[in-house]
Amino acid sequence: MAVGLFAKKLGMTQIFDESGVIFPVTLLKTEECQISQIKTTNIDGYNAVQVAYGLEKLSKITKPQIGHLKKSGEKGFKSFGEFRVSDPQKFKLGQHITLDSFEIGQQVRVSVKVSVKVLLVTKSEITLVEAQ
């Protein structure tokens, strides 16, 4: 599995193709993501990459989080997520993950968390398309 990217949902819209068929589209705003920890089978028992996201001022982050983030850079992040990978050696601590890591037309897996009164998690596959 590859490393992913975290984004916020902005809303829904629709686009038309050449023949006039309407397609529903979800608008996502990607955030700055940075690799904050690389986990290996030798040390942690499994291979994974921890990704920090959600920029925050260092003054609003706890001291333990600041100490953890100092290893990967000087920016402050408020949230962390983890992606299992087969080869963690391909990644570097502090490496930035951007939308450029993906290709137009590439199939990606999406996980959504919606919090109203219940936590709802859905998974689907989408195709990355270029905005015109």
Query: Identity (one letter) of the amino acid at 46?
Result: Y
Is 21 domain-assigned?
yes
Q: For residue 70, give every residue at least 6 positions away whose Cβ sits within 8 Å of its Cβ, in sequence order, or none.
A: none
- Mind listing the pLDDT tens digit for each residue in 111-130? 666 544 443 344 444 455 55
Structure tokens at 66: 């600041």
Is 89 domain-assigned?
yes
Is 33 domain-assigned?
yes
Phi and psi at residue 70, to the nearest 5°: -60, -30
Report the C-alpha gap between 57 and 118 in whole angstroms. Answer: 30
Q: What is the mean pLDDT of residues 56-85?
A: 89
Decide: 6 and 51 in contact? Cβ < 8 Å: yes
Query: How many structural domains does the chain have?
Result: 1
Is 59 domain-assigned?
yes
Q: pTM for the complete prediction?
A: 0.72
Structure tokens at 58: 């260092």
Query: Comparing C-alpha atoms, which of 75, 72, 78 is closest to residue 95?
Result: 72
Phi and psi at residue 62, to the nearest 5°: -70, 155
Is 66 domain-assigned?
yes
- Mind listing the pLDDT tens digit for each residue in 71-108? 888 889 988 989 898 999 989 999 988 888 777 777 77
Q: What is the CATH number of the domain that holds 31?
A: 3.30.160.810
Is 123 domain-assigned?
no
Is 109 domain-assigned?
no
Domain of 86 in residue numbering reads as: 7-101
What band does 43 get if pLDDT is binned at 50, 70 and 90?
very high
Is 52 domain-assigned?
yes
